[in-house]
Amino acid sequence: MARTARHRETAPRRPIRRRSLLLGTAAAGAAGALGSAGCARVPSGDSLARLRSQRTVRLGIAGEVPYGYVDDQGAFTGEAPELAKVVFRRLGVDRVQPVATDFASLIPGLNSQQFDVVSAGMYINKDRCRQVLFSDPEYQMLDSFIVRRGNPKGLRSYEDVVRTGARLATGAGYAEIGYAVAAGYPEKELVILQDQVAGLNAVESGRVDAFAGTALTTRAVVRGSSRAEATKPFAAVVDGERKIDGGAFAFRRTDRGLRDAFNAEIHRMKASGELFRILRRFGFAASEMTTLTAEELCR
C-alpha cells in the first residue's frame, strides 16, 4: 500500500481493553511462528494440499476488535478468525495459528510469507486487488465517527469535518484516510493513531474532534464511555459516488486454488445463514451482510 507523509500521534492506551492484550499475548506466539516458519519459502504447487499436510494455517491479524484480536482471557478470536476456524476445518486444516502485526503490515507480511492468509476483515479496494487475491466479502460496512458526547460540532460526514475545520484522526493503513482526503481534508493534518481505542482516548481528552473508523468498531469501542459516542453510519463519497465497503480474507496471488476453495465454503455458509450466526456474535447487524463480490469491489 502506498504511503505518504502524515502527522502521527501516540495516545495513552487503556490496558484493560482487548487490543492492548495483543502484543502481550499473540505477539509472543507470533514471534515463534515467524522464527520457525514465517521466513521459509512457500513450496510451489497446491497450497491447500500443503496446508492439509501441515494441518496448520497461519492467519495474519491486526488486533482490531471485533475483526481479529486476543480477548481478556488471552484467547484468539474475532469475526474473521472464528470464521476461518470453521472454514479451514471443513477444508481439512485443523489448526489456525495467529500471527500478530499492525494493519499496514498485513499485505506485506502475506506476500513475504510471514503467514498464509490475512484474517482481519480487510476492505477490498482496487489498490489492494493489485497485490493480493480476495475472497468474496463476508460483510459490508459504512463509516462512523467517534465524537464527544452530544456531537458538539455536528459531524456526520467527511464533508462536515472539512467545513467545520474539525481535527480528525483515524488508524494507520485505514481506508478512512483516503475518504477524508477525497473530501478535501489535508492529509498532512490527519492524526494517525494505532487503533480505535487510541482514537477514543484522543476524542475523550479533546486532542481531536473525531476519530474515523468502521461503524462496527466505533459503536463497539464507545460502549461504556460517558464522554464519547458514535455517529450514525454514513457512506463516504469519492468522485461523486457513495462508497459501501466489503471486508474479506486476502490470499497471495499465487494461491488462487486455495482462495476458490475458501470462497466455495463462504458461499455455502451465506446461503444457510451460518455466516450471519457467526458474525452476529461480534456485533454485526443483518443489514451488514452482503451479496457483493470481490470482482465488483476490485473494479
CB 117 within 8 A of CB 60: yes
Return the amino acid letter for 71. D
What amino acid occupies position 4?
A: T
Q: What is the pLDDT, as a whole number, of residue 42? A: 40
- Residue 214 is given by DSSP the state E
pLDDT band of residue 106 (cuts 50, 70, 90) is very high
* pLDDT reading at 20 higher than 50: no
pLDDT per residue as tens digits for the range 151-196: 999 999 999 999 999 999 999 889 999 999 999 999 999 999 988 9
Quick check: 121 and 67 in contact, CB under 8 A? yes
Q: Is the pLDDT of residue 116 over 50?
A: yes
Which position has the higher pLDDT, 155 or 24? Answer: 155
Question: Residue 52: what are its φ and ψ, rounded to 5°?
Answer: -65, -40
CATH number for the segment(s) 143-243: 3.40.190.10
Percentage, residues of the chain above pLDDT 70: 85
Q: Cα separations (Å) of 243 from 240, 262, 299?
A: 9, 26, 12
Buried b (16+ CB within 10 A) or exposed e, 203-234: bbeeebbbbbbbbbbbbbbbeeeeebbbbebb
Specify the range with the lowest mean pLDDT, choosing from 36-40, 141-145, 185-189, 252-256. 36-40
Query: What's the whole-number mean pLDDT along residues 272-280?
Result: 97
Backbone angles phi, psi at 117, to 5 degrees: -145, 145
The length of the chain, given as a count of residues: 299
pLDDT tens track for 49-86: 999 999 999 999 988 888 888 888 888 899 999 999 99
Q: Which CATH number fits domain 20-140+246-298: 1.10.240.10, 3.40.190.10, 3.40.50.10490, 2.40.37.10?
A: 3.40.190.10
H or E stretch covering 215? helix 215-221
| pLDDT, position 25 | 37
How confident is the model at residue 165, as a pLDDT?
98
Q: Could you tell me which of 150, 166, 149, 164 has the C-alpha nearest to residue 212? A: 166
Model pLDDT, residue 23: 33
**For the chain, domain boundaries:** 20-140+246-298, 143-243
Q: pLDDT category, 45, cuts 50, 70, 90? A: low
Q: Which amino acid is at 173?
A: G
Instruction: Check pLDDT > 60 for residue 8.
Output: no
- Higher pLDDT pick, 291 / 33: 291
185 contacts 176 by C-beta, under 8 angstroms: no
* 117-123/245-251 β-pairing: antiparallel
Q: What is the pLDDT of residue 135?
A: 98
- Angstrom distance (rounded) from CA 68 to CA 63: 6
Cell digits of residue 275: 455466516
- 196-229, pLDDT tens digit by residue? 999 999 999 999 999 999 999 999 999 989 999 9
CA gyration radius for the chain? 19
More confident of the two residues 216 and 26: 216
143-243 and 20-140+246-298 share a CATH fold:
yes
| Residue 21 in this model has a pLDDT that exceeds 60 | no
As a whole-number percent, the residues of the chain with pLDDT over 90 amount to: 75
CB atoms within 10 A of CB 245: 23
pTM of the model: 0.76
Q: Which of 209, 220, 204 has the alpha carbon at shortest distance from 155?
A: 209
Average pLDDT of the segment spanning 235-261: 96
